[in-house]
Structure 1
């Protein structure tokens, strides 16, 4: 059962999300976002609340609550399993290669992951960098208002994506530029519901695609306390939209209070886009909607 402190912190988070969505409808997403960025006190209050909540969630996850099992551990476990342990990456590669051969596609343009134990992880919206001490992880953590000095200040909606192999150095703790095709994993943990509009969430996912290496993964964790079928239509549309961008969904797991998803940047963008065309239903659009949008 949630404590009074837990409820108070959660209400701070919910209030920020709701006020952003309301402002977005009143003045437009871009102007609402700019207005939000100017409220430094509100940003700091949000970051402090999220950091304290995360600590509570981690404590609960060792007990009967199993909140996200925790979301941090879930992310670590899947990254390690995908890249280093169970050969999932190579299993997915082989499946895609068989599909390309069956379709008689030219495979000369396929791009592949180079084996490494140094996994470049971009943690977006990470106010306190929970992965900083993880072995094998070379973490870049960015947030609008960092709660610790291990996180760089940066707005992912405004990030400049530079050409491959460009060296990027943070300036005074801030990141404005990142190189394309650089990261093995991008993490959106409780991020998309913060972003007030579908268009801006779609931009986040598009940026993640550009920043990821081929065969890299985008991990999305989103709050969801409903039964597994309640938001199925929304999740199907996410899958369609991300496939159109070039991602294949390779993992979905519904936990008590969150949904955990993994999307793989295919060796050939035609494969997920073909899947999207074949599986598109009448209601599907290029959008990243969340249940709160309709409230």
Structure 2
């Protein structure tokens, strides 16, 4: 794989420390790590599609990895194709955000559209008419229903073939493919490729430069209800190896696995499409004293 392509993929990671660490020795990552970085990044499906094809064209890998990459390309090709195909389709659109308990919630909708172009125009106009700070935590959830020979039904009701996640500007960044769809990829590698794009809170498992005691500031909005601080208690290599602590609204300290999105209160009630590894930034002690931060949160909880 060319170093230029590796850098282009690693540039999807906005976390300064992690980006620099991975760029120092790009060989520490395997091909599937690069595929995972592409799949989970908050960029358009078109850009992900282009990067996957570049990766496929330049990779000199063993057959199983080649087959896996081919299926990943097929997976995203289908998701993009169904957005623009000529057959009759219905887009059901909901504006998503969060309630007062940090839980994912429907803010507005559903609305119905019949073409991708009209849908993008509609959501852009919706945003331009309401351009305030609340859009930091808002995005669109789009369900695609097909009519005729391609339709999917559950208990005789129409069921979506795909669910797409779209930002306020109308850029589609993620998708979920219904398992009952006739074009759902089969076999172990096919299922792995589908799951790569499907999973909510992608469990991006990369080597990290962080150390025990580091305080991180993580802003994954709009795919999280706010920006949060957490402190690392343990730093290991596996998916649960980075344990962090954070404060809940009652002033109590909770602990969770950072790579699984457990770095803020009520995280299980949130559709986290974006891994915190993309956005995490180390906070210096001059910027934030963790003990003082904890005390401040606890004092606030006592007065509410």
State TM-score, norm by structure 2.
0.29
Structure holding more helix per residue: 1
Q: TM-score, normalised by structure 1?
A: 0.30
Greater share of strand residues, 1 or 2? 2
Greater C-alpha Rg: 2
